[in-house]
Amino acid sequence: MRKKIISVVAITLLGILAWRLVLLFSGSAQRKAGQQTRPPVAVEYDSVRYGPIQEARVLTGTIYPAYQYVVAPKVAGRLIEIRKRIGDAVAAGELIARIDDAEYQQAVLEAEANLRIAESALSEARSTFELAKQERTRVESLHQKGIASPAELDAASTNYQTQESRLRLAEAQVEQRKAALQAAHIRLSYTKLTASQPGFVGERFVDEGALLTANAAIVSVVGIDRVIVRTTVIERDYGKIKPGQAATVTIDAFPTKQFSGQVTRVAPLLQEAARVAQMEVEVDNKQHELKPGMFARVMVIIAEREKAQIIPSKALVTRDGESGLFVIADTASIVHYHKVLTGISTSDYTEIIEPHLIGKRVVTLGQHLLVDGSPIILPQPTPHKAVLPAAGGDSRP
């Protein structure tokens, strides 16, 4: 009985296996028949050709002046004159504002008087020193002859040293008074505020009559003969952008105009939070059309080929994670799928590094419905319309 059961189970399993094999082969045959009977797909195409291609990145940033500084006094006082307003040009060394200098003029007069007193004291000390020197010489001569006593010689020598010290003190006081006079002149010069570099007045913070403290801002000056566009570079493009690369800047104020610039600096680190690096582009601005604070777009070319095998980017398809193309056969009735290695890619065109496909036609529309060997229908060329002669004109060619 047991042997009969085992035999029945074995026969059943063999039957199931045979049935599965029949289904497998019949399904494969049906799929092949389906492929062979797949209806043709209407497609559009373009040719593979040589041409220039470049990959660019468009970054956004803000325009900054090449330099900017604030004109502020080093001394306190009342502002009695300011000669510049917003937008006025400023030359290097040009007077911008003046502070009431009466107090500082008086300080100069006082320092001059003190210097004269010190010089008079020096003159007196020098005369006294000369007398003490002569007296010591006379007493030394008498002492050698035995006329003057040692005590008289000691007194003369001590007086000489004392007068010499007083002379050195008077000389030091004169130097001190000269330094004080120079300081008074410097403080007086601080009442006249001049521009250290040429530029334009960007902001004006006070008006005449204001009582200023030291370092209180009066105006700001910006230099815009050259401007700097500051932007950021993402980690993916960081290694492709170097100082010295050409850049093109556009702004909303002049949408049809381009300004040529150059990458001057790329930060040696990336910000941890955003994973971007700071970048600066310097642009010549002799016409002063670019203003600090403007929003700017910077285009930097990161890769370029003068002669590359290119196709329209829309012809690319992705199958199993790889890029490929559907190439139209010479018979123009079917297509073949080719895996490709791409290079520079833009929104319009893509470089094909491998394989060599120059002169071939590739599908640019309808490829999502295709497989290798699919039949296709190409668009018919548009017939040329006959040109009708103008009314009353000659119809002959």
Domain ranges of the chain: 38-53+307-377, 73-100+191-217, 101-189, 223-304
Q: Could you give the strand order of the β-sheet that contains 192-194, starting from the edge strand earlier in sequence? A: 192-194, 95-99, 77-82, 211-212
Position 39 confidence tier, pLDDT thresholds 50, 70, 90:
confident
Residue pair 146/105 in contact by the 8 Å Cβ criterion: no
Domain covering 223-304: architecture: Beta Barrel (2.40)
> Tell me, what's the pLDDT at 321?
85
Residue-wise pLDDT for 146-175, tens only, equals 888 888 888 888 998 999 999 999 999 999
Mean predicted lDDT score pLDDT of the chain:
86
Query: 11 pLDDT exceeds 80?
Result: no
| Average pLDDT of the residues in 33-48 | 74
Rounded to a whole number, what is the largest CA-CA distance in the chain? 167
Q: What kind of fold does domain 38-53+307-377 have according to CATH?
A: 2.40.420
| Average pLDDT of the residues in 192-196 | 95
Q: Omega into 355 within 30° of 0, i.e. cis?
A: yes
Cα–Cα distance list, 362 to 48, 245, 312, 317, 376 (Å)? 7, 35, 9, 11, 12
Residue pair 328/6 in contact by the 8 Å Cβ criterion: no
Residue-wise pLDDT for 301-339, tens only, equals 888 888 889 999 998 998 888 899 999 888 878 889 989
Between helices 102-144 and 150-189, what is the axis angle to 10°? 160
Lowest mean pLDDT across 7-11, 163-167, 219-223, 374-378: 7-11
Beta-strand relationship, 219-234 and 276-284? antiparallel
Residue-wise pLDDT for 51-79, tens only, equals 998 888 899 999 999 999 999 999 999 99
> Tell me, what's the pLDDT at 8?
58
Fold match flag (38-53+307-377 vs 73-100+191-217): no
> Tell me, what's the pLDDT at 29?
47
> Tell me, what's the pLDDT at 346?
84
Compute the distance between CA of residue 201 and CA of residue 91 in angstroms, rounded to an integer: 11
> Tell me, what's the pLDDT at 145?
81
Stated pTM of the model: 0.66
Query: 44 pLDDT exceeds 80?
Result: yes
> Tell me, what's the pLDDT at 388?
38
Q: Which two tokens stand for residue 263?
A: 């990458």
> Tell me, what's the pLDDT at 302?
85
Q: Which two tokens stand for residue 338?
A: 């080719």
> Tell me, what's the pLDDT at 121?
93
| Average pLDDT of the residues in 270-282 | 93
CATH number of 73-100+191-217: 2.40.50.100
Q: DSSP string spanning 362-392?
A: EEEESGGG--TT-BEEPPPPPPPPPPPPPTT
Burial of 65 (0-12, 13-18, 19+ CB in 10 A): buried
> Tell me, what's the pLDDT at 24?
57
Compute the distance between CA of residue 165 and CA of residue 373 in angstroms, rounded to an integer: 114
Query: 271 pLDDT exceeds 60?
Result: yes
Query: 391 pLDDT exceeds 70?
Result: no
Query: DSSP secondary-structure letter at 93?
Result: T
